Amino acid sequence: MINNQAGVEDAKEIFCKKLAYQSEAELCQDYTIKPITPTLEETEQDF
């Protein structure tokens, strides 16, 4: 198994995955959960 470290070029894909958490947020009535709140720019800054 090969593990590669994510880079800034992966930020957009990581950012888009937050859409998968939308249904969870709806169920919990909480749209402040961590995977939903960061912007693309914030995600890029993490790198």
37-46 pLDDT tens trace = 877 788 778 7
Going by the DSSP 8-state scheme, the letter that residue 17 receives in this structure is: G
Cα–Cα distance measured from residue 4 to residue 26, given in angstroms and rounded to the nearest whole number: 32
Chain-centre distance for alpha carbon 29: 18
Average pLDDT of 6-28? 81
pLDDT value of position 1: 66
Instruction: Work out the mean pLDDT of the chain and round it to a whole number.
Output: 80
Average pLDDT of 2-19? 79
Cα–Cα distance measured from residue 30 to residue 23, given in angstroms and rounded to the nearest whole number: 10
pLDDT value of position 13: 82
